[in-house]
Amino acid sequence: MKSRKETIKYCLTLTNVYEDYPFDMETATIRHRGKKKIFAIISDREGYTRISVKGVPEENYLLRDIYIKL
Q: For residue 29, give every residue at least 6 positions away whose Cβ sits within 8 Å of its Cβ, in sequence order, or none.
A: 19, 20, 21, 22, 23, 38, 40, 41, 42
Q: Are 34 and 18 in contact (CB under 8 A)?
A: no
Residue 68 pLDDT > 90, yes or no? no
Give dist(CA 22, CA 7) in Å, integer. 18
pLDDT in tens, 2-59: 789 999 999 999 999 999 999 999 999 999 999 999 999 999 988 889 999 898 988 9
* 70 vs 61, more confident: 61
Give dist(CA 29, CA 43) in Å, integer. 9
| 70 class by beta-carbon count within 10 Å (0-12 exposed, 13-18 middle, 19+ buried) | exposed
Domains and CATH numbers, the chain: 4-68 (3.90.1150.30)
